[in-house]
Amino acid sequence: MRLGDVLSKVPKREFIQVDGFLLNKKGNVGQQVVLDVGQVALNYFCTQCEDIRTFYSIGKLTSVFVNGQIISIDCVLTCGCKTTVQIWFLVESDEDICCLAPRVRILKRSEKLSDAVKINSNQYGDFAILLDKAEHAYRDGLGAGAIVYLRKAFEKITVNMADSIGLSYEKYEGGNPRNFKELLIRVDNECSIIPQEFKQHGYSLFRELSSVVHGEYDEDLGLSKFEPLHRLVIGILENVRNREELRSAIGVLGWAEDRGDRQ
């Protein structure tokens, strides 16, 4: 495996062995080296293409030694439409990074996004902004911050659904619901927003997300739990979106009014 393959995947905590890419280098602090490690390829939502696209690096990458085990890598990825995104990696080896077959991992990956490049597509509407912020925080190693944005997305979709069906509930001065558990149960009973796969654990998800607000999470714990929590929140958003799209399709066909009366 080449280093470019590792850089093209979600950062993992485990060290992965790659082909040597800094052979015969001294590894002096601040030493700059041009790397030939293969292409880096990552997916982003390109607003010009209006779709998820694979952005590729072109040519060789530039690196700087932080010490004998860590290097910094700058990279520019390009979409087929020429839209670009800048990325910075901090790569660590468990021993000498200049050895024949180093074992490496990505300590940090940071992207400079723009209005032209986003992490998520627009399929989740207003929630795409919160999901982008959550993933951006996660990729920057901010586990607690990432979880906070997931909690906001869960709370917002629940409140939006309550407002859409006219459910009344007690609010704090800022507009947030006073008893979220009660509101979630009422909304789910009316709209079934929690997927069947974890319907009995809807509030458990919110309680887990809320733990970070009450100081029960540190950054490492937030990072380790982000992916499963993110997937469950996405599951709720997808469930709501699917129900709305199905209702719309039924309405277009005129079945809503038929109620099974026509043969």
Q: What is the pLDDT along the chain (263 residues), one digit of tens a residue?
A: 999 999 999 888 889 999 999 998 989 999 999 999 999 999 999 989 988 899 999 888 999 999 999 999 999 999 999 999 999 999 999 999 999 999 999 988 888 888 888 887 667 777 888 998 898 888 878 888 899 999 999 999 999 999 989 988 888 877 778 899 999 999 999 999 999 999 999 999 999 998 877 777 777 888 888 999 999 999 999 998 888 888 888 888 888 655 444 44
Coil, helix or strand at residue 152: helix
Amino acid at 25: K
Cβ burial, residue 190 (10 Å; 0-12/13-18/19+): middle
Q: How far apart are CA 152 and CA 94, in angstroms?
A: 37
CB 19 within 8 A of CB 101: yes
DSSP conformational letter for 200: G
Enumerate the domain spans of the chain. 3-118, 123-258
On whether the pTM is more than 0.75, the answer is: no
pLDDT score for 105? 94
Evaluate whether 136 touches 129 at the Cβ level (below 8 Å): no
